[in-house]
Structure 1
Amino acid sequence: MWTPDAFLEQIYERTPDYSFKSGTYAEWADWRPALVNALKRAIVLPAAEAVNPDPVVLGREDYGAYVREHLLLRTAPHLTMPCYLLIPKNAVPPYPAVIACPGHGYGYKQLIGLLPDGSDRAGEPGSYKDYPVELVKRGMLVIVPELLGLGDRRLEQDQAKDPKENSCFRLATNLLMAGKTLAGYRVHEMICCADYLESRSDTVPGRIGSMGFSGGGLVTALTAAIDDRIGPVVISGYTNTFRDSILAKPHCADNYIPGLLQYAEMPDIWGLIAPRPLLIEAGQEDSGFPIQGAVKAIEHLRSIYRAANAEEELVQDIHSGKHEVSGRLAFDWLETNLNGRPECG
């Protein structure tokens, strides 16, 4: 037969360089920094540049339980990033903070109860469950950045299209041709969000959590793997193995990072978050990230957390839904880990 299935299989069967195989704390402590450095190389994380974020407040709305600011941050010489900042009114500052990372859809507005035109949405919240609003009502300050290529940050050629269409393909491929990755720039901008949160006088130093759904889960996980300031972490609707998910069927181009599989499988990368608290949400009916792959990934993650002497910090919420946020455990879990424990990182 001429089909290339066996060809792909033998490529996948090669054991990644940094696959975690051992179970001792000392071996985990040696393994982690090596994979962190490899991950930075793979995503081509932009070098830290002395760019003033120069925050500008574009608007401010009072929603009773919280205030919502529309904010603009500079993240690179030719990049500005709009964000929504949700500030609780039912808590006393300084507040713990959460970075809420969007996935595909119409961007950051979709997460906070707005329609694409910025007007308030009526009816059900959809797959994101308006989770930043749920978190701010629990006393957390939440920043919701617009990811490069989504919503308000699409290329000019895409601005007139359906709001749920994105610019990921052209951005990803242009960056690849330039020796860079879209994932790398998105992670860089999440690090910029953490920098901004730390600069505010109304946030608690060292208490920054993160939650991301779908493609936002990828960016959340990569950021937390690299930046130890981020923790606790909720990854919703993405945790799996590469083999069972993004390599098994077509996904958006922003999921593919050249050479990454040479270094590690997905649960190894997620394992870099250890020993910080990590909650995994996975839907039993999620067709893009099938549950069997999620279970395999969680099992491997548990071995990493066990080696890091932090098995109790890994929590799972395998829910009956499809590709969607659960929140059944996550909202209260984030509140407890950011408010009720002496340390988070």
Structure 2
Amino acid sequence: MHAAEPNADAWLAQTKIAPPLKVSASLEAWQQQRGEIRAKLNELLGDLPPRPPVSAFQVIAKEDKGTYTLETIQFDNGAGEMVKGFLFIPKTATAQTKAPAILYCHWHGGQYDIGKNELLGTNATPVAPGPALAEAGYVVLGIDAPCFGERNGQGPDGPQQKGGAGEMTAAKFHLWAGRTLWGMILRDDLTALDYLCSRPEVDAARVGVTGISMGSTRSWWLMALDDRPRAAVCVACMTRYEELIRAGMLKAHGIYYFVPGMLKHFDTEAVIALAAPRPMLFMTGDQDGGSPIEGVRHLGKIVSQVYALHGSEAAIRFENTIYPGIGHGYLPEMWDKTVQWLDRWLKAP
């Protein structure tokens, strides 16, 4: 073995991990398997506190932006933190003319100070996603994930631990409490989804989720854990863990990403497949080290089998697009395709 090659084969040879997901032969059998997978995922995420009610949310600021209203919202997450978010409401969305909605999940990128402000800028996307989606007719909500935005430095060690150090501290605390940082991230996202679906301007039957990188991963996990999101667009981070290990690229993902015991039971195709038959679009660059392309193709093949169980019409609801020569990024054409996908699946009655 060359000195620069990973030791993955040796480590994996001495570790029992789950084989690739074997898809059930019938839809009825898959539905039972799906319930078992979802239950196991919730178990692996740990002993999460109950989500706070939508009555915990407050609107603390409101701005007229011409074609839409921008509200700043906050809620006590019942786990030691106050969480803030931005809600974009098109002027055309009312209690009488309800609009489709998007839960937007921001990325990681080591940009701990940005968080929900990603909605207002182009640090991760070709356009500012909040205003763009609002002007396209969507109610849009995005919150600060733990350790990001106004939550940077709000972990158990307080302001002395920010950035990656604060993220590590939060992960340590949650492990001691019998839960995962990833589970708590998703718990806050599901709390935000509760609120978004409760807004009078929103048609709760037409809600989607989207994001890039960590935001992508948040999106496909939310599709797995909850049936309310009707469609998703996930840019980058279509990652199969076994291929990630073999490529020597565990370094490409932060500590938040790792769920204890996951590979004892299944790899990520089991998570992504839970979304079927709801529409999901994945867009990944074939030079993205955090998503080894062999794993992207492997995932696509297995998940497609699950969609096929739902009939020929379901096949068009899963799309796995690979961009040659592209790394970990969000191209303008990807953004155009994102909006087209959301319009196709969320704007129809």
State the match for 1:79 in structure 2: 81
Q: 1:9 aligns with which of 8, 12, 17?
A: 12
Give the Å deviation of 1:110.
Answer: 4.0
Q: 2:124 aligns with which of 94, 108, 127?
A: 127
Amino acid in structure 2 at the alignment position of 1:128:
T
Q: Cα deviation per residue 1:120-153 (whole Å; 9 max; x = unaligned)?
A: xxxxx24323333322221000001110111211
Seq. identity, %: 23
State the match for 1:275 in structure 2: 277
Amino acid in structure 1 at the alignment position of 2:13:
Q
Give the Å deviation of 1:56.
Answer: 2.0
Give the TM-score, by structure 2 length: 0.85
Q: How many residues align?
A: 328
State the match for 1:62 in structure 2: 64
Which structure has more helix as a fraction of its residues?
2
CA contact (8 A) 1:83 1:108 kept: no
Q: Kindly report which structure 2 residues correspond to 1:1-345, keeping only aligned pairs within 5 A, or say none.
A: 5-10=8-13, 14-16=17-19, 19-44=21-46, 46-49=48-51, 51=53, 53-76=55-78, 78-89=80-91, 93-104=97-108, 105=111, 106-114=113-121, 125-129=122-126, 130-156=128-154, 159=159, 167-245=166-244, 248-249=248-249, 250=251, 251-309=253-311, 310-320=314-324, 321-325=326-330, 326-340=334-348, 342=349
For structure 2, the 5+ residue unaligned runs are none
Give the Å deviation of 1:315.
Answer: 1.7
Amino acid in structure 2 at the alignment position of 1:193:
A
Relative distance call for 1:58 and 1:244 in structure 2 (3 A) is same
Give the secondary structure class of the aligned counterpart of 1:112: helix
State the match for 1:122 in structure 2: none
Amino acid in structure 1 at the alignment position of 2:197:
E
Relative distance call for 1:77 and 1:51 in structure 2 (3 A) is farther
Tell me how far apart the structure 2 counterparts of residues 313 and 279 of structure 1 sit (CA, whole Å): 8
Give the Å deviation of 1:77.
Answer: 5.0
Tell me how far apart the structure 1 counterparts of residues 93 and 53 of structure 2 sit (CA, whole Å): 32
Relative distance call for 1:284 and 1:171 in structure 2 (3 A) is same
Give the Å deviation of 1:160.
Answer: 7.9
Relative distance call for 1:22 and 1:77 in structure 2 (3 A) is closer
Give the secondary structure class of the aligned counterpart of 2:56: coil
Give the Å deviation of 1:24.
Answer: 2.3
CA contact (8 A) 1:240 1:296 kept: no
Relative distance call for 1:82 and 1:277 in structure 2 (3 A) is same
State the match for 1:118 in structure 2: none
Tell me how far apart the structure 2 counterparts of residues 229 and 330 of structure 1 sit (CA, whole Å): 19
Tell me how far apart the structure 2 counterparts of residues 128 and 166 of structure 1 sit (CA, whole Å): 26
Give the secondary structure class of the aligned counterpart of 2:303: helix
Amino acid in structure 2 at the alignment position of 1:153:
R
CA contact (8 A) 2:120 2:130 kept: no
Tell me how far apart the structure 1 counterparts of residues 161 and 18 of structure 2 sit (CA, whole Å): 42
Give the TM-score, by structure 1 length: 0.86
Q: Cα deviation per residue 1:186-231 (whole Å; 9 max; x = unaligned)?
A: 1111111121122211111322110021112222222210110112
Q: Which range moved further: 306-315 or 87-96? A: 87-96
Q: What RMSD, in angstroms, separates the aligned Cα atoms of the two structures?
A: 2.6
Amino acid in structure 1 at the alignment position of 2:150:
D
Give the Å deviation of 1:58.
Answer: 2.4
Q: Which range moved further: 54-63 or 93-102? A: 54-63
Tell me how far apart the structure 1 counterparts of residues 120 and 52 of structure 2 sit (CA, whole Å): 34
